[in-house]
Every structure is written in C-alpha cells, then in structure tokens.
Structure 1
Amino acid sequence: MTTRRDFIQMAGLTGAALLANPVDAFSNHKKEEKMEASIKNKWLDGSRLVVSISMQFEAGGQPENAESPFPQNMQKGFIDLPALTWYQYGYKEGIPRMLDNWDKHGIKVTSHMVGSAVLQNPALAKEIVQRGHEAAAHGMNWSSQYAMSYEEEKKFIKAGVDAVKNVTGFTSVGYNANWLRRGANTIKILQELGFTYHIDDLSRDEPFIIQANQKDFVVVPYTIRCNDIVLVEGKNFSADQFFNQVKAEFDQLYAESEFKRRQMSISFHDRIGGTPQMVKVTSDLIDYMKKHKGVSFKRKDEIAKMTLEDKTSIRE
C-alpha cells in the first residue's frame, strides 16, 4: 500500500535516478522502501496489530445523582435510587463477569480506577490486580480537574494514585482524566508524579512520544469509537451493532497493519460492558481477532514501555 506522501517522495527519487539507470534505480528503490516499511510497521515484540482493552472501574465513586439511563429530572434534595442500583451493578456483577471473560481468553487489560471507587470496593480492586491486570489512575473522584489550580490538580491526582496503591499494592504509571478532559498542567504534573503515559488523546491509531518537562512521555491513544459508554449508553446501540462497529474497525486496522504500526483500543465501563449481552459479544469479538495472525492483546503499561524502547516510535 502506497500513501500519497510515499508516492510524492518516490516520484521525486525515481525521476532523478531513472536518468542514470532506469531499471536498477527503480528496483533498488522498491527494495529499500519495502525494508523500511517492514521495520516501521512491526511492534518491538513482532506483533502485527496490538489490541488494548480498557476496563473502567468507576462505580461506587460517582457523585450523588450522577448521569444514568434515567431521566435527569430528580427534584433537589432527593436521591435517585434506581440510578444508584445501576451503578452498583458495575461492581456487583459487571467487573466480576468481565474478569472471568478475560481469564477465559487468557488476556490482560488495563483497569482505570477512580480512587473513591477503589476505597468503596477494595476487595474487588485488589482482585483485579491479583488476576494480572494493570491498575491505572483515573482521578480521586469525578471532579473536573481541568478547572483546578496546579496544586489542587496535583493533590487530586496523587490522592487517586495513593488510594490505588494502598489498596492493591500497584503503583499506577498510566492516567485517564474524567471524560478525557485534562487541563493545561496535567501532563507536566503526571511526569512529576512518576507516570510514564496518559491516554487522553484521540489523534492517532498508534502510540507516540511527547516531551514533558524535557523528558520522554508516552501517549497511548484512547477511543470513543469503540467505547461502550458512547455507543451503547450514549447512542443506545444494541450489542450486535457494537459487535459490527468494533469488527469493522479491527478489519481496517488489521489491513493497514501490514504496512504501518497500528493499535486498536476498546473501552468497557463496569456497569455497561459487564452486562451479559456485552460480555457475550466481547467474547465473540476476541475469538474473531485471535484468528488473525500477529494480533496480540496488551496492557497499556506494556505498550508504553515498548514505545519508549523502540527507536522507530513517532515523536511529536
């Protein structure tokens, strides 16, 4: 597959080379182009396409009368009790069911954990880590950190990290802001606190490196295209629609991965992705993906580590 940029570059090179030796010049250039592409499209471990799954651990840490499938018309001073049970489903049924599904398929995921949710259900948070999954930070609560001062935001992020660490023993190196809405100081703060990556970026389909405080910092892109809260909850997709959309994304990225490095992200939330029908279609999706040669499933801390070690990683 030749991109428009490749075509323009090749046209300039071959135009000059053909004047000297038309046949050899074109043949040598094609060999060099093929070798260069094979280097850049391969992941450091030899994977062709990396699939990264997020499992949001938020239920139990939501504010009072948080957004839910129910009409947002509660009178002030009353608690939305049905909505409360919707969130409770996330830690009573959703995450346990998803954990069994990951074990069934032998894959590990990244769980973005809200600090207050972890403190509310410490045994479940600890189980996630004990079963081999990554505990990434997701703030202390659902506050809008982009509106905080530098010091307020730093305390907010650290409080969430400490909650996860104290309960699970896992030191988070990855971060996800509430609805991806980080502030102007967030990346600088994350680097200062010892993080190696964040996911609040939709700009690429592969990880890349940026500079934070003059040091390398990884962006492991997230998704709202293959995200249950946006599709199933926000757009009222059915489980089969979710399956078809995620499958189409996979098929296209797999085709592209023959020529360039590709990462696919899928996101599940405890009270949505952990429902019976969603776990069933997720299992079917994983079965489908595993039939393709060179597909691997990785935690986001693993992706960040590979990106830092790979000299061919994109830098911005």
Structure 2
Amino acid sequence: MATEAHAGRVLAVMSRDLVGYGGQWPDIVWPNGERLAVSLVVNFEEGAEEQVGDGDPRSERMGEVISVVEPGRPDPGQEQIFAYGTRAGLWRMAGCLKQHRVPATIFFCGRAVERAPDLARMLVEDGHEAACHGWRWRPHADYESAEAEARDLDRAAAAIASATGEHPQGFFCRGAESPWTRDLLRERGYLYTSNGFDDDLPYWDAAGGQPPLLVVPYALDTNDMKFFHPNGFVRAGEMVDYVTDALDVLEDEAADGGARLLNIGFHLRIAGRPARFKAFREIVAELARRRDRLWIARRIDIARAFRERVAPP
C-alpha cells in the first residue's frame, strides 16, 4: 500500500487486484451438496438517511424522484418516502420470506435500528442475519479519521445487538470503505465485509492482517436500486427476468463444476412498494422452486462455509 497527499491529508492508495482467482476458482461444494449459493439481502436503512429534520446538514436527494428542496432545508416529503419502507413495505417482504422459508441477510443501519428496534428484532427472530450497514446510510470513504469511523461502527453494532440480541459479524456500507475500515472490522472480530463487487465467489482480503477478513462480494446489478436509476428496471418483470437470467447462467456454470455465488439485493422502501413487490415476490418464489439446485443461505453462513473450505493465504 502506498500513500499520497491530497487536500492536506494523507490517504492510503490501495493496489488493485485485477486478476483475482485468475480463472482458477476454488473447487467448492456448499453444505447442501450444491455448487451455486444464493444470498438474498434486505437493506434496513429507513431513518438512517441524512435528513435536515433529524439534525443532519443536508437531506438525502435520491428517492422516488430527485428532491427539489433546497439543500439545507427540511424535506418532509423525502422523510415520508423513506418511512414507507418500515411502515408498509417491510410487512410485505417479511411475510413473503416467511411463506417461502427463504433466509435473508439484513443490512441494518444502526440509527434505523435504534428508531425501530421491534422491527429489527422481529426480522432476526424470523431467522434472518443481522449485519452492520454502518450507523448512517453514508459512504465510509467520507470519514476523515479512523477514530470517527470507529465510534460510528461501535454505535451501530451496539444498537443492533441491543435490539436483536445478535452482534453483527458482517459489514457493508453505502458506496465504499475508508482506508481504515477493514482494520477496524478486524479489531472488532468481524468475519466478513461485503464491500466488494469484483467476483462470483468470496475471497480473503489481500491485505492480510490478523484475524483474517473475508470479502463476501455484493452486487449492484441484481439489485432493486436499479429501479431508482434511469438505466435500470422500470417494470417488476424486468428485474425478475434479469435475476432469472443470472440464475440460469450461474446454474450452467455450476453444472460444469464451477462454484458460484449470486447476490440479490432489495430495499424496504423500493421493493416494498406494491408494483415492485411483485418482483420481490416472484424472485423469492423462483428461489424456492429451485431450492433443490441451490444453496439459499445467509451471508454469515456462506462466509463460515467458505472459511471451512478455503484457508486464508
């Protein structure tokens, strides 16, 4: 790792690994005997987004539309768009997961959990994993110091543990990590981070360090955030078709002996809306139909299974 000065600060410059497994992925059979694992993630961010009404310097602009409220002014409309996720969307999505017996990983923002602890507890009691999504819904790359980031990591973990009884062992933040994030996670006993978009299998963090930290990659293409982007999904069927295509391709590769991981991401305020819930419902049902050909698992279980099969370098 090199360093360079920028705007009066010293930033770490990470070397980029553009080779990875070099086409020689580890030969993995997941615990149920299959070679394709599927991770379904539900993001629990509502109440953790920036809002002037909550004392933040600005309000989040990305929602059903781009906010037209002047920066620095309260934006109750955006507050309500986010609140829909926990007031209405969560109940549809939680019920669907329970109906089809599909386990999920919940990316919990600490401030969101602190405001709705009973909802967080319900999801974990349903068997879903509690993972840390930071204190607020913000990029960790924006932190000015390791100390500030550490305080928020600890605050988020404490809120999650208090509400759910489960201390998170997995992490994912909006955007990107800071130069210090992974060291902070190691110090706190995290097993994995999901801030990786560069492979179809988990891999050990190349920086090394003790204890070893696993990267369980995430994905932004098989993700309902693309309903909020102009180059993304419009109708529910578009996401269903896209995810089904991904399943088909990765199943073919698994049949040829290649272990794989597919990540599918959802948000309460996005897929919880009726028209988009159809995509969530049909994707969950399709996973259930393919259950005998897939390993549908929480990310913590994927991380543990990978660790048992592939030792740290």
- TM band (smaller chain): 0.7 to 0.9
Distance 2:236 2:45 in 1: 21
Q: Counterparts of 1:1-316 in structure 2 under 5 Å?
A: 40-64=27-51, 65-66=59-60, 67-76=62-71, 78-148=73-143, 149-179=145-175, 181-210=176-205, 212-229=208-225, 231-235=226-230, 237=233, 238-258=235-255, 259-292=257-290, 293-311=292-310
1:147-188 Cα shifts (integer Å, max 9, x gaps): 321111111111111110111111100000122x10111111
Question: Hey, what does 1:30 align to over in structure 2?
Answer: none
1:271-293 Cα shifts (integer Å, max 9, x gaps): 00222233322332233344444
Distance 1:163 1:5 in 2: 41
Distance 1:178 1:71 in 2: 18
Partner SS for 1:241? helix
Letter in 1 for 2:301: E
Tell me if structure 1 keeps the 8 A contact 2:81–2:269: yes
Structure 1 gaps, min length 5: 7-36
Q: Which moved more, 1:170-179 or 1:74-83?
A: 74-83
Distance 1:53 1:87 in 2: 21
Change (3 A) 1:307 1:41: closer
Question: Hey, what does 1:23 align to over in structure 2?
Answer: none
Deviation at 1:234, TM superposition (A): 1.4
For these two proteins, the number of residue pairs brought into alignment is 278
Tell me if structure 2 keeps the 8 A contact 1:108–1:298: yes
Tell me if structure 1 keeps the 8 A contact 2:67–2:78: no
Partner SS for 2:111? helix
Letter in 2 for 1:307: F
Between the two proteins, what is the percent identity of the paired residues? 26
Distance 1:291 1:187 in 2: 37
Deviation at 1:53, TM superposition (A): 0.5
Tell me if structure 2 keeps the 8 A contact 1:207–1:304: yes
Partner SS for 2:27? helix
State TM-score, norm by structure 2. 0.83
Partner SS for 1:267? strand
Q: Which moved more, 1:79-88 or 1:48-57?
A: 79-88
Distance 2:72 2:150 in 1: 32
Distance 1:306 1:61 in 2: 31
Question: Hey, what does 2:17 align to over in structure 1?
Answer: none
Distance 2:212 2:169 in 1: 14
Distance 1:53 1:190 in 2: 22
Deviation at 1:5, TM superposition (A): 6.8
Structure 2 gaps, min length 5: 1-21, 52-58
Tell me if structure 2 keeps the 8 A contact 1:50–1:296: yes
Letter in 1 for 2:46: A
Distance 2:262 2:138 in 1: 28
Larger-Rg structure: 1
Change (3 A) 1:225 1:144: closer
Deviation at 1:253, TM superposition (A): 0.7
State TM-score, norm by structure 1. 0.82
Deviation at 1:88, TM superposition (A): 0.7
Q: Which moved more, 1:277-286 or 1:198-207?
A: 277-286
Letter in 1 for 2:169: V
